[in-house]
Amino acid sequence: MFKAMKELFTSGNKDLRHRIYFTLAALAVFTLGTAVRVPGTEDLTKNLGFLELINTIGGGALKNFSIFALGVMPYITASIIMQLLQMDIIPYFTELRKQGYTGRQKINQYTRYLGIAFAFVEGYAFAFAFLGKSSSPMEYMYIATILTAGTALLLWLGDQISQKGIGNGVSLIIMAGILASLPQMFVVAFNSLVSLTGTAQVITLGIIKFILFVITYFAIIIGMIFVQESERRIPIQYANKSTSAYGNAQSFMPIKINTAGVMPVIFASSLLSIPSILAQVIKNDTFTLICQKYLNYTTPVGFGLYVILIFFFAYFYTFIQLKPEEFAKNLQDNGGYIPGIRPGEETKKYVNKILSRLTVLGAVFLSIIAGLPIIFSQLTSLPTTVTIGGTGLLIVVGVALETYKQLEGSILTRSYKRGYSRR
């Protein structure tokens, strides 16, 4: 790690440093935007409940009712729907997925259009929910338009980061928002657990609880790094290459235990937040009660649903990224095979079995790591902001690891190119 960072500041990586500076500047624009309130509105003082997730991901933008109040959550919701549509539900999108780079570009374009549409609907819903029924429909439209424009600007910033910066732009915007909210989360946790006005015994007990709280979050970081770095290597042999002692033709295909990364957590959290948004709009006591009891992951039913969704999206995202049938076909076309496994259908079944087992293991680890702060918060009666913060920290670690690997890969690629050019 330190070697890669040292290499970053050499003269040969000047363009890479410019990419990093551009990324930081774009994230600074996002941070400033979270403090720019929508004209004619005020800070939200009411309890947001499960909508705290949107507030946390947006760096407190929803509480401020800023122009970035919606964040990139509408785009995430649109991504879920578009990926589901590619699963042989609508043939047109299935064909686009098979068209390679051109198809992916078209799908990304449709996803953004759908994300903007969702942003307008959610913006109107938030305006109606938080400003009350006394305002006119034109005022709701005005606020919804501003919030939609804010989301569109964030998506544009994300694209610029992906093209001219380092890492995935949308993921980094999510990470920046969470990092901005983390200090406040620890302050809230300390104030909730430690009572400085009580007896020495009460203060000591509160400090112990806070230390356990901090240890829990360190466990999340360590656990996430462990899961992200763990992999299963499938041996691959190529028939057209030498297998002598001087020319070993065997290579490996690494498959991560958690191939999906933090996307299952993001997707699961996004879906669970939708009913809460609807509850704010509908204003129906029965529906609101159902959301509070069964669609809030601080309750047993909601927590169970949260874990189920993590498992579902872990499988869903893994098998979208790694398709056993395509892997088997490509391996056979290149003259490769897995030792002891026949090329073709048997290879597909073998890879599918390994992926299924690894995904179960990865989803279990992910559920445990995502559930630790929720369980701890319930045992210690911590506020919802702290509970959500655990999920946020999980996302931060995952995105940070992916970004660092991309940065390290870019540094190594440039080092190899410079070494080759000297020859």
Residues near 167 by beta carbon (within 8 Å), at least 6 away in sequence: 23, 161, 399, 402, 403, 406, 407
The predicted-structure confidence for 311-343, as pLDDT tens digits, reads as follows 888 888 887 777 788 778 888 887 788 888 888
Evaluate whether 39 touches 182 at the Cβ level (below 8 Å).
no
Using a 10 angstrom Cβ sphere, with 0-12 exposed, 13-18 middle and 19 or more buried, the burial of residue 266 is buried
pLDDT band at 244, cuts 50/70/90?
A: very low
- The H or E element that residue 9 is part of is none
Max intra-chain CA distance, the chain:
82
Give the integer Cα–Cα distance in Å for 55 and 65: 9
Residue 47 has a pLDDT of: 57
Cβ(160)–Cβ(169) below 8 Å: yes
- pLDDT band for 245, please (50, 70, 90 cuts): very low
**Which pLDDT does position 185 carry in this prediction?**
78
CA atoms of 61 and 37, how far apart (whole Å)? 8
At 360-369, the pLDDT tens digits run 888 888 888 7
Provide the pLDDT confidence category of residue 11 given band limits of 50, 70 and 90. Answer: low
Q: From CA 205, how far away is CA 209, in angstroms rounded? A: 6
Other CB atoms within a 10 A radius of the CB of residue 118 amount to 21
CB 87 within 8 A of CB 31: no
pLDDT tens, residue by residue, 60-93: 788 788 888 888 888 888 887 887 777 766 778 7
Q: Residue 248 above 50 pLDDT?
A: no
Question: For residue 156, what pLDDT is reported?
Answer: 92
Name the residue among 231, 262, 221, 272 with its Cα closest to residue 366: 262
Chain segment 200-218, per-residue pLDDT in tens: 888 888 888 888 888 877 8
- Of 115 and 408, the structure prediction assigns the larger pLDDT to 115
**Predicted confidence (pLDDT) per residue in 105-130, tens digit:** 888 888 899 999 989 988 888 887 77
Cα angle 359, 365, 367; round to 5? 95
Contact by Cβ (8 Å): 73, 174: no
Radius of gyration over alpha carbons of the chain, in Å?
24
More confident residue, 165 or 298: 165
Task: Provide mean pLDDT across the span 22-34.
Answer: 90
In tens, the pLDDT along 144-168 reads 899 999 999 999 999 999 888 888 8
The crossing angle, in degrees rounded to 10, of helices 73-85 and 137-164 is 70
Token couple for 328: 């088997």
- Which amino acid does the sequence have at 207? I
Quote the tokens at residue 152.
């569109």
Most confident of 139-143, 261-265, 390-394: 139-143
Nearest-5° angle of CA 271, CA 404, CA 269? Answer: 10
How is domain 2-422 classified at the CATH fold level? Preprotein translocase SecY subunit (1.10.3370)
At 377-391, the pLDDT tens digits run 777 677 666 666 666
- Residue 117's nearest CA partner among 81, 66, 67 is 81
The answer, yes or no, to whether residue 253 has pLDDT greater than 50, is yes
The pLDDT of residue 247: 46
Q: What is the pTM of this model?
A: 0.75
What's the mean pLDDT in 230-259? 69
Instruction: Give the type of residue at 245.
Output: A
**So where are the chain's domains?**
2-422
What's the distance, Cα to Cα, between the start and end of the chain in Å? 27
Query: Which pLDDT score, from 0 to 100, does residue 88 have?
Result: 67
Most confident of 160-164, 185-189, 313-317, 399-403: 160-164
